[in-house]
Structure 1
Amino acid sequence: MFTPSSHDVRRFFCESYRKFTENAVLQPMEAIAADWIREHPEYHEVLADLEAAIARDYSVEGGQANPFLHLSMHLSIAEQVSIDDPPGIRAAAQDLTRRLGAHEAHHQIMECLGEMIWASQRSGRPPDGAAYVECVRKRAS
């Protein structure tokens, strides 16, 4: 299993941004990343400078959102929806998307994903996919 470091993730998004801005050929995952990067112009300056991106600290104490975490969550959700894992996430996400549009739906799903991860870490149990899907369903209704 591939477990990228935070530097690997930052390189991936910065490289995807560079290719996007240069109209270069994108690998499939880079193309998905570029779609979400396009939706977040507030991150373009950060993504344009790889060395600064790698050096920057996005700790909670710093008070700034981590654009790499945010974009990674967009990619995770896109993957989950594409393979319907956990089961039911595709339909729940589609319902939410019809209601709010794709970008806002993803942001709502991120809240549910964050809740699931937090609950898992707090309890020491595996993530509860069914609770995650139910959270998304509730937001869709």
Structure 2
Amino acid sequence: MFSPSQADVRRFFCGVWAKSSTSQPMEAIETLAAGWIEEHPEWHAELADADAAVKRNYGDGAVGGNPFLHLSMHLAISEQCSIDQPRGIRQAVELLAAKRGSLHEAHHETMECLGQMLADAQSRRQAPDGDVYVASVQRRATRS
């Protein structure tokens, strides 16, 4: 199992941004990450300085305030959808994207559901419940 440190994750995203900015060849995961980075121009300057990014304290790690947590969640949701794990997440995110007219916006809403599932599991000291997570995304996709 791959278990990168916080510094590893930050250097990965900063490296991806450096490669993307200079049109260097990238691995598949880097190409995916670069796409999500492009969607967040508010963090481009921050991603340009890996040393400063590694040293920065993002406080409580709120998804919207920590570019590395946020981008990691985009990658996690992309991977979940690619393998449909938990079962049904691909369809739920696709429905939400269609409703919102934006995969990016659908991911942001899905992040809220994912974060809530993880917080609930942690507070109960139980494994995350993928069915509850998928149902939460589905509810957002079917609400008027």
TM range (shorter): over 0.9
Q: Percent identity?
A: 51
Contact 2:81 2:93 (C-alpha < 8 Å) held by counterparts: yes
Contact 2:37 2:44 in 1 (8 A): yes
**Aligned position for 2:72:** 72
Could you report, residue by residue, the CA deviation over 1:85-115 in whole angstroms, capped at 9, with x for unpaired residues? 0000001011001111101000000000000
Does 2:28 align with 1:31? no
Number of residue equivalences: 140
Runs of 4+ in structure 1 off by over 6 angstroms are none
Deviation of residue 60 (structure 1)?
2.2
Partner of 2:4: 4
Task: Give the match for residue 113 of structure 1.
Answer: 114
Flag the 1:28–1:50 CA change in 2: closer, same or farther, 3 A.
Answer: same
Residue 31 of structure 1 and its aligned partner are, at CA, apart by 0.3
Unaligned runs of 5+ in 1: none
Inter-partner Cα distance in structure 1 for 2:137 and 2:22: 36
Amino acid at match of 1:35: G
Paired with 2:138 and 2:123, the residues of 1 have a C-alpha distance of 23
TM, length-normalised to structure 2:
0.95
Q: Which residue of 1 is the match for residue 14 of structure 2?
A: 14
Q: Distance in 1 between matches of 2:88 and 2:8?
A: 31
CA distance in 1 between counterparts of 2:61 and 2:12 reads 25
Letter in 2 for 1:105: A
Please list the CA deviations of residues 43-88 of structure 1 after superposition, one character each: whole Å capped at 9, or x if unmatched.
Answer: 10110000000000011299x8110000000000000000000000
Matched residue type, 2:38: R
Q: Is the 8 A contact 2:32 2:75 kept in 1?
A: yes
